[in-house]
Amino acid sequence: MVVYKVTVKTGDKMVEGTIDHVFITLHGTEGKSERKKLNDSPELSSGVEKEYKVECEASLGKVFLIGLEKEQYLFLPDDDWFCLTVMVKTPEDETLHFPCYSWVIERQLLLVEDPKELPHEARFSLDKRMDVLLTAKTMIAELTIKFLASSKKPWAKLDDIGQVFWFNKTQASGYVQQHWKEDEFFGYQFLNGANPMTIQRCQQLPPKFAVTNDMVQPFLGGSTLPAELQSGNIFLCDYSHLAEVPTNVINQRPQYVPSPFCLLFKNKEDKLVPIAIQLRLEPGETNPVFLPGDSEEAWLLAKTQVRAADFIQHQFHFHLLRTHLLAEAYAIATLRHLPSAHPLYKLLVPHLRYTLHVNTLGRESLISEDGAISMYTSTGREGMEVVMKKAMQAVKYSALCLPEDIIARGLEAVPNFYYRDDGLLVWIALNKYVEGVLAIFYPSDADVSSDEELQGWIEDIYKHGFLEQASTGIPSVFSSVKEVTKFVTMVIFTMTAQHSALNSGQFDFGGWLPNCPNSLQSGAPCSKDQIREADLLLCLPDVNTSVWGIAGAWLASKKSGDFVPLAQHPEQYFSSEPEVQGLVDQLREDLKEISQKVQERNKDLKDLPYTYLDPENIENSVTI
């Protein structure tokens, strides 16, 4: 008879203990133990560390896995249990660590429509719930006091918009309010604003973009359009795919979805400035090309409509689809196919925190029939779905990998592109970390090919995340360590840095509504003549639509009280693999150096620093 000493540690939060019966099974290379009941009496309360003995007739060999189960105690309600860690001391005097950091439950993870139906480990913590609730309540109270939340009136003057919130301001939102009319700032946002994903170098004008050299030559510093196209100084933001997207009706008034082309020029000062805007897809006499030489009011109205199109592209394509929903596909595949002892599970699980909860909450409060997107955006829910279907058909694996995406869009050498510069540093650090970890567990490509759980994981993502579309370039199987390294790097980058870049600046750049309208009430003018500021005010959404859009941007951008920075999670999932812990420590050092570099650079950008990809500001998972 041999004895294994098992030490079990329960989470220290108030609800993390259990009165239910808990059982353990040890699995080794030479067999497994009998199923052992740990608590004859309800004693696994919160914050408890208990030692038990598991007796076996013979040695189990190398213990590589433990099984934990829970059964209801008597007739009392089911009581889930949060296990922090299990430590096993073998008869050979070897101490083995098994990190758990998860709830032991009797229910299966199902498709749910209410966050309360999610298992505990997928839900917000109590602190997180209270933080979100307090922020939302404070925001709603302020809007109610000001009688803005239900006002269906148009804005009387632009200055009134700046009074929406008393105290919800940021340095960047103040800067935007002061500079939003300026062409240089307009161009800057396509590189370092809330959505740096649309702009691309233009080598050939779209056939339906009716801009000519004669139109723009006065704004090219003595050059010509063909010459600047050849030199790589012309850039395009193309929103033509928004043509014919269904539109919403708000306050009994139809809304409008623009589908513009916007041409930009990198001038001799290395500033990106707009030089031509066409607001509708089909060229013609009633669809003029707007130019910087037009009246100030006409040019500003055209730029505002481009910003409204960018809001749609940003929120539904790059933010919702490419970060939130893809992160959910990665999370669910991980929970379906990878046991907690699997190295890829240990690598990914810190980056799954709260993602299922926030997405379920989003389906409940944002895209439901009476949700914010349905009620307060120009597309409504129907239009949003059309935008996302088009976007899904266009998604490519290469576009999800930052280094390849930058090259594909021709943005390698664009100056002052901080999203690219900071993002590549983070990508390289994550890639080095992932490569090091996977090399430990997959010494050869054959180890990858023979890992059925790994293959099930990528097959699930290919099938459910990318709808089995080979055109996406997403692999359906893995055949090499290199392939796995690249894909896992992309997954972690998406769930951390990419989400931060697309989420954190929403209020900074959208807190001043005219810079980022969530809806429009009038379409593109058929003529550039006689456009006045009143036309811009009539174009902007009504007061209630505006303030709920601003409020949503504030709530989404606010850093939560239990924010966990990238790679700073306290759980040690690789506690039995000291070589991996060394790689974790190195990653943290690399990220610290990146943070210092970003912060040093930002000293020269004191009016508008780019902070979204500072590792200190990147959350470790999609949580909001």
State pLDDT tens for residues 150-195: 889 999 888 888 777 655 788 999 999 999 999 999 999 999 999 9
pLDDT value of residue 410: 98
- Residue 117 confidence (pLDDT) above 70: no
Burial class (CB in 10 A: 0-12, 13-18, 19+), 579: exposed
The closest alpha carbon to 518, from 483, 548, 474, 493, belongs to 548
Task: Please write the tens of the pLDDT for every residue from 457-516.
Answer: 999 999 999 999 999 999 999 999 999 999 999 999 999 999 999 999 999 999 999 999
The closest alpha carbon to 383, from 518, 193, 282, 189, belongs to 518
- Residue 451 confidence (pLDDT) above 90: yes
Compute the average pLDDT of residues 142-151: 68
Task: Please write the tens of the pLDDT for every residue from 10-67.
Answer: 877 666 777 788 888 999 888 889 888 887 555 677 778 888 899 998 999 988 888 8
pLDDT value of residue 172: 94
**What distance lies between CA 25 and its chain's CA centroid?**
38
Share of the chain above pLDDT 70, in %: 91
- Residue 406 confidence (pLDDT) above 70: yes
| Domain range 2-106, CATH architecture | Sandwich (2.60)
- Residue 383 confidence (pLDDT) above 80: yes
pLDDT value of residue 100: 81
Angle of the 578-602 helix axis to the 418-441 helix axis, nearest 10: 170
- Which residues of the chain form CATH 1.20.245.10? 311-504+566-617
Compute the average pLDDT of residues 407-414: 97
Chain position carrying tokens 């896995």: 65
Q: Is residue 111 very low, low, confident or very high in pLDDT (cuts 50, 70, 90)? A: low
Q: Are strands 49-56 and 2-10 parallel, antiparallel or unpaired?
A: antiparallel
- Residue 4 dihedral angles phi and psi, to the nearest 5°: -105, 130
Share of the chain above pLDDT 90, in %: 68
- Residue 240 confidence (pLDDT) above 80: yes
Residues 6+ apart with CB under 8 A from 407: none
pLDDT value of residue 274: 98
Q: Is residue 144 very low, low, confident or very high in pLDDT (cuts 50, 70, 90)? A: low
The CATH homologous superfamily of the domain defined by 311-504+566-617: Lipoxygenase-1; Domain 5 (1.20.245.10)
- Residue 41 dihedral angles phi and psi, to the nearest 5°: -120, 155
Compute the average pLDDT of residues 350-377: 90
Task: Please write the tens of the pLDDT for every residue from 416-437.
Answer: 999 999 999 999 999 999 999 9
How far apart, in Å, are the Cα atoms of 269 and each of 221, 266, 416, 490, 603? 11, 8, 11, 34, 20
How far apart, in Å, are the Cα atoms of 96 and each of 5, 27, 66, 91, 571? 10, 12, 11, 12, 16
Q: Is residue 109 very low, low, confident or very high in pLDDT (cuts 50, 70, 90)? A: very low
| Region class of 468: left (phi > 0), else alpha (psi between -120 and 50), else beta | left
Compute the average pLDDT of residues 213-235: 97
Q: Is residue 110 very low, low, confident or very high in pLDDT (cuts 50, 70, 90)? A: low
Compute the average pLDDT of residues 88-108: 80
- Which residues of the chain form CATH 2.60.60.20? 2-106
Q: What is the DSSP letter of 333?
A: H
Chain position carrying tokens 């709603």: 140
- Residue 449 confidence (pLDDT) above 90: yes
| Region class of 229: left (phi > 0), else alpha (psi between -120 and 50), else beta | alpha
Q: Is residue 604 very low, low, confident or very high in pLDDT (cuts 50, 70, 90)? A: very high
How far apart, in Å, are the Cα atoms of 327 and each of 264, 265, 319? 33, 35, 11
Burial class (CB in 10 A: 0-12, 13-18, 19+), 473: middle
Task: Please write the tens of the pLDDT for every residue from 531-566.
Answer: 998 999 999 999 999 988 988 898 888 888 889 999
Compute the average pLDDT of residues 586-601: 98
Length of the chain: 624
pLDDT value of residue 444: 97
Q: Quick check: helix, strand or coil at residue 479?
A: coil
Query: In whole angstroms, what is the distance from residue 275 CA to residue 554 CA?
Result: 32
